[in-house]
Amino acid sequence: MDAPLCLLTVHAHPDDEASKGAGSVALYHQRGVRTVLVCCTGGEEGDILNPAMDNDEVRADIGAVRERELANAAAIIGYDEVVMLGYRDSGMPDSEANKRPESFAQADLDEAVGRLVEVIRRERPQVVIAYGPNQEGYPHPDHLRVYDVAIAAWHAAADPAKFPDAGEPWEISKLYYTMWSRKRIVAMHEKFLELGLESPFDDNWFSRPFDESKITTSIDVSAAGDVRRDALLAHQTQVDPTSKFWFGLPPEVARTVHPFDDFELGEARVATELPEDDLFAGITSSVSG
């Protein structure tokens, strides 16, 4: 392709970019692909899970604190640019935050799509990563909204009749959805038990609706080392550094347990053979290191 390679991710809150696909973004950035993060909200409603950060000063300035944490995490991962879409965190379902007019959940869909289309047409990504339509395991209003906006932008960005003031039309080649792999959860649980450690994964975890059949693409992120861990720790308010879920396994062990980021190919304008091990399959023969 004539256009430089670009990978654009769309996430709901600061810290989502660290927990979902961070290793893949880091690897593509290392290989010379331009990497852009669109964060839809400021994460204002997230709980302060680190007791060391739970104080009046942090709470009074939580939006700015979370934006600084996002900048630090994005730098660790290797994002070339971070774009804030400009909406407020909607909070959990049926909360008061859902009703705030400036929240992402209450945003005019056309307006939100237009904002994302403008970024897409400026950055011209071949690959976009967002969230899929099936989010039964964690139906957060902002995560659901990410899908609504991203799928609409997939179509609108390529349509010259849509948002004519937002730049020249651009066809995204592939739209992916981040996936939680049951294999990862099982492997981590078994590793905890093997090491004689208490596992944070109980029966509720294994009753969640994991649909392994939808995983089309797995990226080997073993070469990304501790990028995911380090990016999570940059979110000092949102992530408890003593969390067994995130950090219960020793780093040298955790990085070897299911060292893959898993995705579902939701939409494609190029031919590709599934399953894949490269987000740019069908766009380039390879992304060289």
Which CATH number do you get for residue 202?
A: 3.40.50.10320
Determine the Cα–Cα distance for residues 89 and 45; give it in Å rounded to an integer. 6
| In-domain check, residue 276 | no
CA nearest to 84, candidates 44, 118, 32, 38: 38
Provide the percentage of residues in the chain whose pLDDT is more than 90.
84
Token pair in block for residue 154: 């997939």
Q: Which of 73-87, 132-146, 171-185, 237-251 has the lowest mean pLDDT?
A: 132-146
Output the average pLDDT for the chain: 93
Tally of domains within the chain: 1
> Rg (Cα) of the chain, in Å, rounded?
19
Which whole number is the average pLDDT over 122-131? Answer: 97
| In-domain check, residue 113 | yes
Structural domain of 112: 6-268
pLDDT tier at 138, thresholds 50, 70, 90? confident
Neighbours of 194 (CB within 10 A): 9
pLDDT at 289 over 60: no
Please calculate the CA angle 135-141-144 and round it to the nearest 5 degrees: 45
| In-domain check, residue 172 | yes
Which whole number is the average pLDDT over 67-91? Answer: 97
pLDDT at 100 over 50: yes
State the DSSP string of 190-240.
Answer: HHHHHTT---S--HHHHTS---GGG--EEEE-GGGTTHHHHHHHH-TTTS-
| In-domain check, residue 62 | yes
Which whole number is the average pLDDT over 21-41? Answer: 97
Q: Where are the alpha helices (DSSP H) in the chain?
A: 16-19, 22-30, 56-60, 62-77, 109-123, 141-156, 182-194, 203-206, 227-234, 244-247, 251-254
Contact 123, 47 (CB under 8 A): no
Determine the Cα–Cα distance for residues 146 and 155; give it in Å rounded to an integer. 15
pLDDT tier at 2, thresholds 50, 70, 90? low
| In-domain check, residue 275 | no
pLDDT at 285 over 70: no
Contact 72, 92 (CB under 8 A): no
Determine the Cα–Cα distance for residues 70 and 120; give it in Å rounded to an integer. 20
| In-domain check, residue 281 | no
Determine the Cα–Cα distance for residues 142 and 10; give it in Å rounded to an integer. 11
Looking from the CA of 200 toward its CB, the CA atoms found within 13 Å total 10
Place of tokens 């939409």: 267
| In-domain check, residue 31 | yes
| In-domain check, residue 287 | no
pLDDT at 135 over 80: no
